[in-house]
Amino acid sequence: IKSMADVKGKTLGVTGLGSSTNFLTQYLAAKQGISSNQYSVLPVGADNTFIAAIKQGRIDAGMTTEPTISQLLKTGEASVLVDMRTVEGTVKALGGLYPASSLYVQRSWLNTHKAEATKLARAFSKTLKYIKTHDAAEIASKMPKDYQGKDKAVYLQAMQNSLPMFSADGRMPVGGPETVLQVLSGFNPNVKGKHIDLSKTYTNEFIPPSK
């Protein structure tokens, strides 16, 4: 497999069904003219379970997160087909920023739980501001030890490389919703060809004002 054009008939690993890695895999394949019924998708999680799936040959390729990627690259057990670990790489692959990790709630819940929504949003915003003002070693010291895996140096380097992708305050990035809609429209019949008012799909209302 040299590119997403070569995945026909293959088994592709994703972190979970319905996850961003699943959606993006489908989109990248569809861009090469390969529909979702021409390959198999297998949810294999991340970290050790993803690495095991690669080693055991249960998946031919896959999309996952750091530090799993760096661990596989270090051992030579995998190579990168599409690199979306940086802003530049994401824009190259998708045409814009892709806000993958978000707080998802139903509008009915949001309208009746504004106090809880505010606490959740402020916690995320506070965490992101901490990430932007500390280096990888300081951030890692606050994380559970098992996140580091067996190679602390690889974990720290992967984290340091990933820092630019994090939002500074948790606000939806300009152009982000448009990119997500473009991705989903590429393969999802529930979205393709439909008019969607993106301004009604997200809100920055609960994020603390910038200082």
Give the residue extent of every domain in the chain.
4-82, 107-200
Q: Is 34 in a helix, a strand, or coil?
A: coil
Question: Could you give the dihedral angle defined by the CA atoms of residues 179, 184, 187 and 188, in that order, rounded to the nearest 10 degrees?
Answer: -160
The whole-number pLDDT of residue 150 equals 78
CATH architecture group of domain 4-82: 3-Layer(aba) Sandwich (3.40)
* Higher per-residue confidence, 204 vs 18: 204
114-135 pLDDT tens trace: 999 999 999 999 999 999 999 9
| Residue 61: other Cβ atoms inside 10 A | 19
Which of these CATH numbers, 3.40.50.970, 3.40.50.720, 3.40.190.10, 2.40.10.120, describes 107-200? Answer: 3.40.190.10
**Going by DSSP bridges, is the β-strand pair 61-62/40-43 parallel, antiparallel, or unpaired?**
unpaired
Token output for 120: 């959740």
With a cut of 70, say whether residue 211 has pLDDT above it: no
The whole-number pLDDT of residue 164 equals 87
Q: Per the confidence metrics, is the pTM higher than 0.85?
A: no
